[in-house]
Structure 1
Amino acid sequence: MEKPSLSLLLQVVLLLFILYRIFGRYCGHKSSKLPPGPYQYPIVGNMFQLSGIMHSTLAKLSKTYGPLMSIKVLNRTMIIVSSPKVAKELLQKYDHLYTSRLVLDSARAFDHHKFSVVWLPINSKWRNHRKLCKEQLFSSERLNASQGLRQEKVQQLCNYVHGCCINGEVVDIGEATFTTMVNIVSSTFFSVDFGCYESNSSQELKENILGVLDTLAKLNLSDFFPVLRAIDPQGIRRQTKFYFGKLLQMFDEIIRQRLQEREKSLAYCRRNDLLEVLLDLIQQHKTEWSIKDAKHLFLDLFQAAFDTISSTMEWAMAELLRNPDKMEKAKTEIREIIGHRKLIQDSDISALPYLRAIVKEALRLYPPASTMSRYYEADVEIDQYIVPKNTLVLVNLWAIGRDSSVWSNPDSFVPERFLDSEIDVKGHHFELLPFSTGRRICVGMPLAERMIHLILASLIHNFDWKLEEGMKPEDIGMREKLGITMQKAAPLKAIPIRATM
């Protein structure tokens, strides 16, 4: 499908601007009460000032206009928060007025927004989804019980890397981590591995997940002018529907087979997985859960596993390869605690403060989601400025993580800054909110924390690493990929060497 030209899109925008003015639906606010911001051009607002990577562009503007700033894109006013102090006042003081986040038109494919724990407003259905995730997936009891499964999958990762050692092959860190997480998630949900390190079996799954993330990141006119949803002028929702369809079809087939086994087999052997739990709940009519709810939950969780864990692992390893002294410091700490034991357990992580500092520092510099959005059901007053109700508020987590008034050498990778600090990533410290905060805090944070530490520690402990021939640490590309999540533009590849214990 050919993409519409820029001139055509501008003509559409102009027409809609005129129609909104005629019918009194153009969204505007009293500028005297709004926070300061750059000059807003007619019709387009600040649209053409926001090219490139959104979070870094907004951070640059905030240095001129302050940590509470207003901008406008087409017909939508946005409030940008870029400091932990303002974020704390807004997110803590007015959490009771928080209603929902912006539902992108692309997320409406297959009515995903009506079932997704990510996109649902805070209502009974959303609470039901969150409760099930907390109790059946991410409670301490459940995670402790599934520790053996995670260790098995991490051991498979180490076996693959060991094979690369023997053959002198390069390891794509992001790809290998993705396969590990795919297998952990698919085994937890369905008692089956979806990925294989030695083949491209998980490649289609990754392409579909990346396709979803890419379409969600695109500027969509339908998000600014809901009247356009019916025609989807850029085809973005149709693209999302294609990728959603592939993933939902896969889940549908697995669920169908499981239901057939449960109904027809007299010697049916129950699995200890999430699908078994959900089917029990659905068939016993004990909750509002349906097969459709289950499929959309799987869709959310597969995306989250890729977003958070795979990307954070890749950024952390990239920084360690760029800073060999910090890699060696981490390796020494792990060896002092673990000794000659190859298998690292969840319980070991609390005894590895430098490893935990590395993860915090990676999340500070590269939060999985660079911004988080909020809507409030009433006007909110901050520093004598008004955030009008139903205005999109974006908290720039990337900018907060690099605020020079909070962090010394904010753009440098310095894990040591966290060694004597009480700051954690659990949503209580507004200087570091990689998993969000409040009622919308990432429900999968307990698993993400365990897996990032476990995989990173295993790769550091069991292997030494060198770059490909001719590469120096400073040659590692650290540019971000344009998208809704924080991903490396260039894959991180390195050659493993069997570590001497």
Structure 2
Amino acid sequence: MITMEQITTSLCLFLALLLPLVLLGARRANGNGSGHRLPPGPWRLPVIGSLHHLVGKPHAHRAMADLARRHSAPLMHLQLGEVTFVVASSPAAAREILRTHESSFASRPSSSAKHAMMSSDGAGLASSPYGAHWRQLRRIYIQELLSARRVRSFRHVREEEVARLVAGVAVAAKAGEAANVSERAAVAVTDAAVRAIIGDRFQRRDEYLEGMAEVGKLLLGFSLADLFPSSRLAELVSGTTRRAEATRRKMFELMDCAIRQHQERRSDVDSEEDEDILGVLLRIHHDHEEGYEIPLTMGGVKDIILDLFLAGTETSAATLQWAMSELVRNPRILQKAQAELRDKLQGRATVTEDDLPGLNYLKLVIKETLRLHPAAPLLIRECGEPCKVLGYDVPRGAHAFVNAWTINRDPEHWADAEAFWPERFEFEARAVDLRGGADLEFISFGAGRRMCPGVAFAGAVMELALAAMLYHFDWELPAGVAPGDVDMEEETGVVVRRKNDLYLCPVVRVPPRAA
């Protein structure tokens, strides 16, 4: 994978060598010789197309939103190297791609990083192209791995890990220290997800967290090798395949360790209801169960685990970080959420999942966090057959970005769109849950066939952890930091989290039960 800063350096050298050719051909490059009525977009240069509009801008979702606004293009054309992109920046454009022409955009584009990250005999749900294999994988996810019953069976795991989170923060509060909320939230979410997947806390958790951060960067999708697929030089310069293969070897070695740990600890279970997720996958792999026509190989098992590790930890941890960041920037909202919790629980020593159904304002806080900070701001699809979107031609093979970040902030659909205001979901009577709005004006976990199947899995741990942190503690900013000064800079990755860790000073309000 190559960062946008590295692309900038490479292109500067490239343009220095070919500047006369680029300038002479710039006007011709802006014509459309294909006969297609492509969407509007920014001016292009030969060879690199529209790429110069994005280099030096680390956050692609923000750069694309700015370009779409400047060109009044709810559907925008970008030519990035050899690859045609269309960018949907309005609910109407998103609806056509994700619903009206859902079958045409049912696959995600391949990339050198994705290809190198997959095993030779498998692919996870996120990377698998649409077809029989993908349909079988989705069935396994929905019926076996992430069903409502299976998610409920992990309740004790979530409650135990959240209790550990609260106990650790209480220790910091007692010592008068600032707590690294980002790190503690990531550890709690990771341990809850990994215990659900392999049945135990992972012995090599720190290595896993480092590896997942690298995977997230690799899968972001901006690599010279992907934008110039016919160029061997681009692959050599980017080094994407080498880096992805090294990461795959490391992550698969961790998967082998997790499988060994699972087998040592879980040689037998009382029933299928007691199985962890890896146990389910190994059962399907070994037994070749009826109803699954395509064998689930060990490579496929590892790819699924890798998918679940990424989807089950990064998104939830990032959302918790952003929720706490927005709450300390908005003391009125923080106090209102805490009042709801404390009024309901009346001093009880522990928050449990039984307490969550009636916490309406807490749910609004999570929705508003996901609106402003969707964990995956760009939903990526590939056009499998020519079609028209908003009256424009989208050719086969074009890559489509649905910019969830800018759609969630569209001022035509959201009053005071940049403000953190959870009440909007209540006062505006929007029928919106974590799965999004009916008109796709709110997209947090995607839509259509490629929608994330782990919404319930992610939502359960997010809600419980946030409730516990708000119930047990008051939260103060470090000395000299005003609410309006809270750092909100984003990290670049397939999941957008805070760039810098969030440190807050906890004050125990309701003493927790010892973990």
Question: Could you state the TM-score of these two structures normalised by the residue count of structure 2?
Answer: 0.87
CA distance in 2, matches of 1:11, 1:323: 46
- Structure 1 residue 258, shift from structure 2 partner: 5.0
Cα deviation 1:16-71 (Å, max 9, x = unaligned): x99xxxxxxxx976366111111112221111111312111111111122211111
CA distance in 2, matches of 1:390, 1:481: 29
Distance change >3 Å, CA 9–CA 109, structure 1 → 2: farther
Residue of structure 2 in register with 1:148 after alignment: 156
In the TM superposition, 1:455-466 aligns within 5 A as 455-466=465-476
- Structure 1 residue 204, shift from structure 2 partner: 2.4
Cα deviation 1:225-265 (Å, max 9, x = unaligned): 33346954321222222222222102113324655788xx8
Kept in 1, the 8 Å contact 2:436–2:442? The answer is yes
Residue of structure 1 in register with 2:432 after alignment: 423
Residue of structure 1 in register with 2:208 after alignment: 205
- Structure 1 residue 344, shift from structure 2 partner: 2.6
Residue of structure 1 in register with 2:391 after alignment: 384
Kept in 2, the 8 Å contact 1:372–1:436? The answer is yes
- Structure 1 residue 440, shift from structure 2 partner: 0.5
CA distance in 1, matches of 2:485, 2:469: 21
Residue of structure 2 in register with 1:448 after alignment: 458
Residue of structure 2 in register with 1:30 after alignment: 34
Aligned residues: 484
Residue of structure 2 in register with 1:373 after alignment: 380
Cα deviation 1:187-246 (Å, max 9, x = unaligned): 112221127xxxxx6332221111111233363122123334695432122222222222
- Structure 1 residue 428, shift from structure 2 partner: 4.6
Structure 2 stretches lacking a partner, 5+ long: 23-30
The reply on whether 1:123 has 2:126 as its aligned counterpart is no
SS in 2 for 1:412: coil
- Structure 1 residue 269, shift from structure 2 partner: 6.1
Kept in 2, the 8 Å contact 1:427–1:441? The answer is no
343-352 or 467-476: which moved more?
Answer: 343-352
CA distance in 1, matches of 2:310, 2:368: 23
Residue of structure 2 in register with 1:281 after alignment: 284
SS in 2 for 1:393: strand
CA distance in 1, matches of 2:208, 2:278: 19
In the TM superposition, 1:161-180 aligns within 5 A as 161-180=169-188
Residue of structure 2 in register with 1:432 after alignment: 442
CA distance in 2, matches of 1:180, 1:229: 43
- Structure 1 residue 483, shift from structure 2 partner: 2.5
- Structure 1 residue 158, shift from structure 2 partner: 0.9
Structure 1 counterpart of 2:112, which letter? D
SS in 1 for 2:258: helix
Structure 2 counterpart of 1:425, which letter? L
Residue of structure 2 in register with 1:98 after alignment: 105
Structure 2 counterpart of 1:280, which letter? R
- Structure 1 residue 12, shift from structure 2 partner: 12
Kept in 1, the 8 Å contact 2:478–2:504? The answer is yes
Residue of structure 2 in register with 1:50 after alignment: 54
- Structure 1 residue 95, shift from structure 2 partner: 1.0
In the TM superposition, 1:63-462 aligns within 5 A as 63-65=69-71, 66-112=73-119, 114-194=122-202, 202-217=205-220, 219-228=222-231, 232-256=236-260, 272-286=275-289, 287=292, 288-420=295-427, 421=429, 422-429=431-438, 430-462=440-472
Residue of structure 2 in register with 1:481 after alignment: 491
- Structure 1 residue 463, shift from structure 2 partner: 0.7
- Structure 1 residue 9, shift from structure 2 partner: 6.6
Structure 1 stretches lacking a partner, 5+ long: 19-26, 196-200
Residue of structure 1 in register with 2:67 after alignment: 61
Identity %: 29
Structure 2 counterpart of 1:458, which letter? A
CA distance in 2, matches of 1:334, 1:492: 23
CA distance in 2, matches of 1:350, 1:135: 24
SS in 1 for 2:444: coil
Kept in 2, the 8 Å contact 1:331–1:461? The answer is yes
Cα deviation 1:443-494 (Å, max 9, x = unaligned): 1111111111111111001111111222221221011122222111121111
Distance change >3 Å, CA 294–CA 498, structure 1 → 2: same
58-67 or 217-226: which moved more?
Answer: 217-226
Distance change >3 Å, CA 7–CA 278, structure 1 → 2: closer
Distance change >3 Å, CA 260–CA 157, structure 1 → 2: closer
Residue of structure 2 in register with 1:23 after alignment: none
Question: Could you state the TM-score of these two structures normalised by the residue count of structure 1?
Answer: 0.89
Kept in 1, the 8 Å contact 2:182–2:502? The answer is yes
Structure 1 counterpart of 2:67, which letter? L
Distance change >3 Å, CA 221–CA 12, structure 1 → 2: farther
CA distance in 2, matches of 1:28, 1:121: 30
Kept in 1, the 8 Å contact 2:178–2:478? The answer is yes
CA distance in 2, matches of 1:450, 1:229: 46
CA distance in 1, matches of 2:119, 2:197: 19
Distance change >3 Å, CA 256–CA 9, structure 1 → 2: farther
Structure 2 counterpart of 1:438, which letter? G
SS in 2 for 1:97: coil
Cα deviation 1:240-298 (Å, max 9, x = unaligned): 22222222102113324655788xx8xx5667322222222222122411211111111
CA distance in 2, matches of 1:261, 1:353: 39
CA distance in 2, matches of 1:13, 1:448: 49
Structure 1 counterpart of 2:339, which letter? T
Kept in 2, the 8 Å contact 1:107–1:237? The answer is no
SS in 2 for 1:99: coil
Structure 1 counterpart of 2:467, which letter? A
CA distance in 2, matches of 1:385, 1:294: 41
- Structure 1 residue 371, shift from structure 2 partner: 0.8
- Structure 1 residue 346, shift from structure 2 partner: 3.0
